[in-house]
Amino acid sequence: MNIVISQGSEKPIYQQIYDQLSAQILNGSLQSGYMLPPIRQAAIALKVSVITVKKAWESLEREGLIHTTVGKGCFVADFEPKEIKRLRDEQIKRHLLHDLQHYLAMGIPFDELVEMIQSLKEDLCN
Amino acid sequence: MNIVISQGSEKPIYQQIYDQLSAQILNGSLQSGYMLPPIRQAAIALKVSVITVKKAWESLEREGLIHTTVGKGCFVADFEPKEIKRLRDEQIKRHLLHDLQHYLAMGIPFDELVEMIQSLKEDLCN
Amino acid sequence: MNIVISQGSEKPIYQQIYDQLSAQILNGSLQSGYMLPPIRQAAIALKVSVITVKKAWESLEREGLIHTTVGKGCFVADFEPKEIKRLRDEQIKRHLLHDLQHYLAMGIPFDELVEMIQSLKEDLCN
Amino acid sequence: MNIVISQGSEKPIYQQIYDQLSAQILNGSLQSGYMLPPIRQAAIALKVSVITVKKAWESLEREGLIHTTVGKGCFVADFEPKEIKRLRDEQIKRHLLHDLQHYLAMGIPFDELVEMIQSLKEDLCN
DNA sequence: GTGGTCTAGACCACC
DNA sequence: GTGGTCTAGACCACG
């Protein structure tokens, strides 16, 4: 488990954990069947409250990304490679639609927006 | 003034107001010198508290998008068309950088992301 | 009468007028016996409300810098050159004491503050 | 926390609080990492509304002097000693420039003004 | 426990 | 008429 928490962030801690685990599951670095550490242990490792970790785990379970077995632990759900890509693209598309609408409302033409994105490639891929 | 408020949104009301007015100023539909409605009148029209409107107006003033004169009202700041485009692009770039990083962290390759954006053009430009 | 009004300033308009006339009387550019323009005329010239001008005139009279004769007009009060200098220095000293205390409270040593002031001479005397 | 509020002052209460805390951070009496009292507790201690305290805290955060974490509290931001001195001098210089212009407009020569300041040293350093 | 948001209603300064 | 400040009190999110 590889998570970085920014204490002073605007984003709630539980959501930072959720976002990073969710991304790691969707990009394949956490594979199906992987067992997440027990919440108490994770809480100590991340230096946050148990409640906070619990909240992140719950969000992941609600989204179907992990499943919990009482007495055994939490495991990354079973996905076929195809399904995982579908899930990821679906989620990205949903957010993209929302974000892009915001930008277009500011009066920037669609094509100019795409150009701007292309121009950011260097900054992003480092 | 053309503002829609979503009461149940995660976004605070004052920020919804700020976002929409800010977008309208930056896309040119509210032009320099335009007088915003008095805060009390706006509050009634939007069915929110005066203070909520005030908070949105304050953010706009802090960003230099409007200026306030006690006893007279609040007015859209003077901008040269060039200046306004610069401000808009700057703001979009800042947000884009943040959003795109989020998507890339999910494991989607940059070029695939751009393709996906292109494919959304129809949905967005209606 | 030589007054510049900044509409968007934080300072109330009536006080801008007061400050500038007061300074001009204390620095000698408006001499004893000079007749101020009638308030209605001044209001038109400055493009502000008559009430605003009246308020500034009243402040000046309260401070003893001008005196009003009904039906004749407002005149700069009689001062001996010595008295005018005394008035000016007194007023400056009063404000200085207040301002400098503020700076010292920020932890800057007195001597360093004086140095800083000296270093601003060029910026100020242009 | 050591704050004195003057209820009848021309200065808004929230700004009095801001000014004093800002000065205390910049002069080093409130050090990096110090936790400000909870806004509700501060409100009781200062005998003002919670909102008034909040407004002051917000200004401090906007200036980067403190940072806030929901559920934890407000803390004095991390500064290197050098940075803090730079911030302080910058702020003092900005205000000095404004104040001194005001005095010079009253017709006092620059050198005479400096003399006057020197003569106030005793009054100020007690 | 912490801060964040929103409300209604009051009084003041400015124009 | 305008905005600026302050109040008391409520409900929610976070840890």
Q: How far is A14 from chain D (nearest CA, A)?
A: 13
Cβ–Cβ < 8 Å for A100, A39: no
Q: For residue range A49-89, list pLDDT tens digits in order.
A: 999 999 999 999 998 999 999 889 999 999 888 888 898 99
Region D51-69: mean pLDDT is 94
Q: Do A117 and B114 touch (CB under 8 A)?
A: yes
Q: Is D4 on the interface with C (CB under 8 A)?
A: no
The answer to whether the Cα torsion of A36, A40, A44, A50 is positive or negative is positive
Q: Do D67 and A8 touch (CB under 8 A)?
A: yes
Q: Is B73 on the interface with A (CB under 8 A)?
A: no
Contacts of C96 in chain D (CB under 8 A): 103, 116-117, 120
* Mean pLDDT across chain C: 91
Between CA B12 and C1' F4 the distance (Å) reads 23
Please give the residue that has the higher pLDDT: either A10 or D44. Answer: D44
Q: Which residue of A has its CA nearest to B28?
A: A107
Is the pLDDT reported for residue D55 higher than 90?
A: yes
The answer to whether the Cα torsion of C28, C34, C40, C44 is positive or negative is negative
**Percent of chain B topping pLDDT 70:** 100
Spell out the residues 6+ positions from residue A113 whose beta carbon is closer than 8 angstroms to its own: A100, A103, A104, B92
* Nucleotides of chain F touched by protein CB (<7 A): 1-10, 13-15
Backbone angles phi, psi at B122, to 5 degrees: -60, -45
Q: Pseudo-torsion of CA D5, D6, D10, D11, nearest 10°?
A: -10
Q: Do C27 and D121 touch (CB under 8 A)?
A: no
**If pLDDT is split at 50, 70 and 90, which confidence band does B24 have?**
very high
Mean pLDDT is highest, among B40-49, C76-85, D104-113, for B40-49
Q: What angle do CA A68, A72, A73 make, to 5 degrees?
A: 45
Is the pLDDT reported for residue A126 higher than 80?
A: no
Q: Do B70 and C8 touch (CB under 8 A)?
A: no
A101: closest CA among C126, B95, D73, D26?
Answer: B95
CA dist., res. D83 & res. D77, Å (int) = 11
Q: What is the DSSP string of chain D?
A: ------TT-SS-HHHHHHHHHHHHHHTTSS-TTPBPPPHHHHHHHHTS-HHHHHHHHHHHHHTTSEEEETTTEEEEPP--HHHHHHHHHHHHHHHHHHHHHHHHHTT--HHHHHHHHHHTHHHH--
Q: Is A12 on the interface with D (CB under 8 A)?
A: yes
Backbone angles phi, psi at D68, to 5 degrees: -115, 140
Query: Where do the H-state alpha helices sit in C47-109?
Result: 50-62, 81-105
- Cβ of B74 near strand F (under 7 Å)? The reply is yes
> In terms of pTM, does the model score above 0.95?
no
What is the interface size between A and B, counted as CB pairs within 8 Å?
97
Q: Is B70 on the interface with C (CB under 8 A)?
A: yes
The answer to whether the Cα torsion of C77, C83, C87, C88 is positive or negative is positive
* Mean pLDDT across chain D: 92
What pLDDT was estimated at residue D41? 94
Q: Pseudo-torsion of CA C7, C10, C15, C17, nearest 10°?
A: -30
Q: For residue range A32-43, list pLDDT tens digits in order.
A: 999 999 999 999
Tokens of D112: 């005479």
- Which residue is closest, via its CA, to the C1' of F3? B70
Between CA B63 and C1' F11 the distance (Å) reads 30
Spell out the residues 6+ positions from residue C115 whose beta carbon is closer than 8 angstroms to its own: none
Would you call B103 helix, strand, or coil by DSSP? helix
Q: For residue range A94-109, list pLDDT tens digits in order.
A: 899 989 999 999 999 9
- Cβ of B12 near strand F (under 7 Å)? The reply is no
CA dist., res. D87 & res. A60, Å (int) = 44
- D: neighbours with 3+ CB pairs under 8 Å? A, C
**Percent of chain B topping pLDDT 90:** 75
Contacts 24+ apart (CB under 8 A), B3-11: B3/B46, B5/B46, B5/B47, B5/B48
What pLDDT was estimated at residue C87? 87
Q: For residue range C93-106, list pLDDT tens digits in order.
A: 989 998 999 999 99
